[in-house]
A and B are shown apart, each in its own frame.
Chain A
Amino acid sequence: MAETVQTLPVARPMTRPWRVPRLVRLVLGFARRKPLGAIGGVIVLALLVMALFADRIAPHAYASSIAGARMKPPSVQFWMGTDNLSRDIWSRVVYGARISITVGFATVALATLMATVVGVSSAYLGGAYDIVVQRVVDAWISFPGLVVILSLMAALGPGLFNLVLALSILGAAGASRVIRGAALSVMANPYIEAARALGAGHLRIVILYVLPNVMATILILATIGLGQVILAEAALSFLGFGIPPPYPSWGAMLSGSGRSFMYYAPWMALFPCAAISLAVFGFQMLGDALRDVLDPRLRGATGSIPN
């Protein structure tokens, strides 16, 4: 008996009108509601591209001296000019983006992890643990940021990893307070009680019920935190406690031996200054807009000031 293989009738190609993909529509909607946030987003995107493809974008290596091009003003060939060691400033700014982004993302990842563990556990466990942890957080927050980081850097010594560690310990303290608040309000919901009644363990409740609901808060904190970390890194490098030269941190480009040459070659200062300000502006605006769209309750709770 011959086996008959019955095939399904060929589906008639459906003529579905082409629609703008959902993600694109979301982004466009965001841009219309929050134009400043969208500008911030574009700046952040540009920074990410610069950081990722620094070796393709930069025409020269960040530390290579170009013969006969000392302190040249901006021109077609060196469109941000060159510095006192004959290095192309545009290339250094591009590689500087890589440092800022690396330090920024590493710090925010570490800080967010610490802040989430401290904040959620403090909210979930409560009691004496909560009180003790919150008093320590109080003490941390009451120090001025730069003084804490400087003291921590003195304790840890220079270097990329220590810089990230110092910055994230500082950032985590403030963020943990906000995350604790968000977790506390989530835990007041009946579904947490329902989960407990169903016999869910502590870990299950925290991971499946509490964490997803504080995620928006965590994301917003991280975005705004990125701008602040980039700023702090620039300030530290400026004071000479950041990443050691010749690696081109934007802050370091403004300090050290270059400072006395800036009077003769102002472009040496102008472009790193612009880069720092634009980066901080971009992350701040994007974070503010995300906060307004995702979680307006956070206004004023994230260290930035409500509009």
Chain B
Amino acid sequence: MRNYVLRRLLVALPSLLIASLIVFTLPRLIPGDVVQLMLEEKAYGKDLDDLRAKLGLNRPIPVQYVEWLGSIARGNFGESLWTRQPVLSELARRLPITGTLGLMALVVAILIGIPIGVVAAVRQDGVLDFFARSIAVFGLSVPAFVLAILVTLMPAIWWGWTPRTQFVTLAASPGGYVLQFVLPAVILGIASAAGIMRLTRGMLLEVLHHDYVRTAWAKGLRERVVVLKHALKNAVIPVVTVLGLQVAAIAGGAVIIEWIFGIPGMGQFLVDAIVQRDYPVIQGINLVIVVIIVASNLAVDLVYAVLDPRIRY
């Protein structure tokens, strides 16, 4: 087991490195000159070259990359070109917010997806199955931002109710902090729930036809035991893989949901940074997202090994 974990960690390293290269190169493809923009609007330096030297943008790009990687390793993410605030502290402030939203969305996705998938599989072609599949198709075709607009719009028209847009910090009111994420998290989680539901249903249907399940029935076990203890354990393995992929989907979806609900998390930070072409901020956010996703893929692989002892690298 320890060997497996170590090997898996080693494999994750190169993909992190390549990802960091992409993260570093991307903002540098921006055609407009951010230095010129900054000089015109804020007049930080004496002239273009002076400002460039100050920001370290006058050296060759490979040198910049190695230096950037080195300072990241020392925990220095640089500072925003515009606000001169350290990127790391801003990230540290915003990451928990997006983290709460994402985690809640994932929980919603699992809590809706797996139970409905199980029921739909057990009562295959029943009314509930038909209902669940229709909802899944709906969940997959209605994008989160469309759903978010409808959810904020329709109650406002019918009952004059609008979701609060004032952000509550954790320190101000822990209850309010969690409560304000419920609606965005449900919306964000529904698309993932639809996918998880379809997969759970499909996998469970397949497993339910296996011989060992028939044996379990023949032993006279109750339906609940056969389905939940015998069949679901094997059916849920591919679902775990998809959960790993859903982390990426939810991270992407969070950008737009935060924007709609006015949640000051990473997504909003990213959109603002892109509008302002703030390299260090864009790089910092992308890097954090990549690390989270690589880590969650790693976690999925490890959970895999626990769930199915046959899997070894």
Contacts and interface: CB of A to CB of B under 8 A. Distances in A.
Interface of A: 36, 135-136, 138-140, 142-147, 150-157, 227, 231, 234-235, 238-239, 241, 254, 262-263, 266, 269-270, 273, 276-278, 280-281, 284-285, 300, 304-307
A306 B198 contact: yes
Nearest to B297: A142
Interface string B140-165: 11110110011001101100000000
A295 B305 CA distance: 31
Contacts of B274: 150-151, 153-154, 241
Contacts of B277: 154
B30 A154 contact: yes
A280 B282 contact: no
Contacts of A156: 29, 31
- Which 4 pairs across A and B sit closest by C-beta, in order of nearness? A144-B252, A281-B141, A146-B252, A155-B29
B286 A147 contact: yes
A287 to B, nearest CB: 12
Given A135-B14, A135-B18, A269 B198 contact: no
B248 interface: yes
B274 to A, nearest CB: 4
A266 B149 contact: no
B290 A146 contact: no
Contacts of A278: 141
A142 to B, nearest CB: 5
A207 B120 CA distance: 45
Nearest to A146: B252
B142 A239 contact: no
A263 B26 contact: no
A239 B252 CA distance: 13
A2 B157 CA distance: 95
Contact of A150 (B150, B255, B290): B255
B18 A155 contact: no
A16 B248 CA distance: 60
B253 interface: yes
Nearest to A227: B141
B242 interface: yes
Given A144-B248, A239-B259, A136 B202 contact: no
Given A276-B146, A307-B202, A143 B289 contact: yes
Contacts of A157: 30-32
A146 B248 CA distance: 10
A238 B145 contact: yes
Interface of B: 14-15, 18-19, 22, 26-32, 133, 137, 140-143, 145-146, 149-150, 153-154, 156-157, 195, 198-199, 201-202, 238, 242, 248-249, 251-253, 255-256, 259, 270-271, 274, 277, 282, 285-286, 289-290, 293-294, 297
Q: Is the interface of B mostly helix, strand, loop or mixed?
A: helix
5 contacts: A144-B252, A150-B271, A150-B274, A254-B145, A269-B153
A239 B145 CA distance: 10
B270 A147 contact: yes
A269 B147 CA distance: 11
With most chain B CB atoms within 10 A of its CB, the pick from A139, A157, A276 is A139
B113 to A, nearest CB: 10
Contacts of B255: 144, 146-147, 150, 239
A277 B251 contact: no
Contacts of A305: 140, 195, 198-199, 242
Contacts of B256: 146, 235, 238-239
A139 B22 contact: yes
A146 B274 CA distance: 13
A139 B289 contact: no
A289 to B, nearest CB: 12
A269 B150 contact: yes
Contacts of A300: 199, 238
Contacts of B145: 234-235, 238, 254
Contacts of A277: 141-143, 146
B242 to A, nearest CB: 7
B154 A266 contact: yes
Nearest to A232: B143
Nearest to B238: A300
B253 A146 contact: yes
Given A136-B18, A144-B293, A284-B141, A155 B26 contact: yes
